[in-house]
Amino acid sequence: MTDSVYLDLISRFGGPATTVPVPPVKVFPSSKHAHCKGGDYCIHTKGNGVAETARRLAPREIVINHEQVDILTKHKEGMVFLTGPPGTGKTLVLIIKGLDWLGGGKAVQVVSSAIEGKAAAHMIVTELKRLAATGTENNITTHHFDMTSRSEDSVVEALASEANQGELFIIADEISRDFAKLCIQLERRVQNLHVWAASLNHEDRPSEMKEEQLTEALRTPPIITREVMSSGFMTHQRQVLCYTSSNIPPPCVGPRSISIIHDKIKGHSGNTTYDCLECGKEVAVYLNELQILDK
């Protein structure tokens, strides 16, 4: 029996039998996989595969490409709208812009104008507080507005009241189409309005904002981009821009994806997966099974 066959048997019978297509990488000095030879990184479980995929595609250190640098250097003031498919770095650009404002002593308003944007807003605030210089994290304010149940005037009033000496700095991800109306009214109320917003749907762009497209998959593994590319939003409705190819090969393929179906017949609540308690529980159960929540 060869060493490779022996290790394969041990991994199959000593732990969950999984096959995760993550190519080998060099083992770091702190790695505990002493039995791995030739500098390979051992992936035994699906949880290992998911964690390693996240480490390669979404490191805690900020890594951006030349397109993102160009966008950040081109637009110093005014209003900018970012659009593109998932995993192309739209949210990351918003975070960097927010850090730029915080570093300049400005107060940053992180806004979600629809339920679809609440998770993104939470992540942006979390990253801003983690990366911001000491003391500036207190200049971050979160606003969650449900435009379906709250009047437009009250939202505009709440945001306009945050202006300081005629300046207002807003970050908004996964905006709704109603966001365009907010921008129009805020421009009338605030002398120097600075808004950076993003959405998957390029049709959501407020006409007053300069559009920038990000279409290169940077933080999404190929197995997920294929799922996205086959969705109706991209193939039939054309609401989401298509991915563009990259000369840089992805660092990994990624583990097998799963699907969670919002099914009202089975008692699911809410109108979509975004506000469905049962869908959220299914996601939580799956993440718990991977045993990577503490990582």
Which residue range(s) make up the domain with 13?
Answer: 3-57
* Residues 113 and 184 grouped into a single domain: yes
* Residues 126 and 30 grouped into a single domain: no
* Residues 173 and 125 grouped into a single domain: yes
pLDDT at 23: 42
* Residues 46 and 92 grouped into a single domain: no
**Which pair of structure tokens corresponds to residue 89?**
């770095």
Q: Which long-range contacts (CB under 8 A, 24 or more apart) does 129-138 make?
A: 131/62, 131/95, 131/99, 132/99, 132/102, 132/103, 133/102, 133/103, 136/102, 136/103, 136/105, 137/102
Mean pLDDT of 108-126: 91
Evaluate whether residue 111 is within a structural domain. yes
Q: For 17-71, how does the pLDDT look when each residue is reduced to its tens digit (9 = 90+)?
A: 444 443 444 434 444 444 454 444 556 677 777 777 777 777 666 777 888 989 9
Evaluate whether residue 240 is within a structural domain. no
Evaluate whether residue 229 is within a structural domain. no
* Residues 73 and 176 grouped into a single domain: yes
Mean pLDDT of 99-122: 92
Evaluate whether residue 219 is within a structural domain. no
pLDDT at 26: 40
Mean pLDDT of 122-148: 91
Mean pLDDT of 107-116: 90
Most confident segment among 186-190, 266-270, 271-275: 186-190
Euclidean distance between CA atoms 4 and 181, whole angstroms: 62
Question: Of 213, 234, 250, which residue constitutes the final position of a domain?
Answer: 213
The number of folded domains in the chain is: 3
pLDDT at 157: 94
Euclidean distance between CA atoms 271 and 278, whole angstroms: 12
* Residues 193 and 289 grouped into a single domain: no
Evaluate whether residue 243 is within a structural domain. no
* Residues 174 and 280 grouped into a single domain: no
Of 54 and 12, the structure prediction assigns the larger pLDDT to: 54
In percent, the amount of the chain with pLDDT more than 70 equals 81
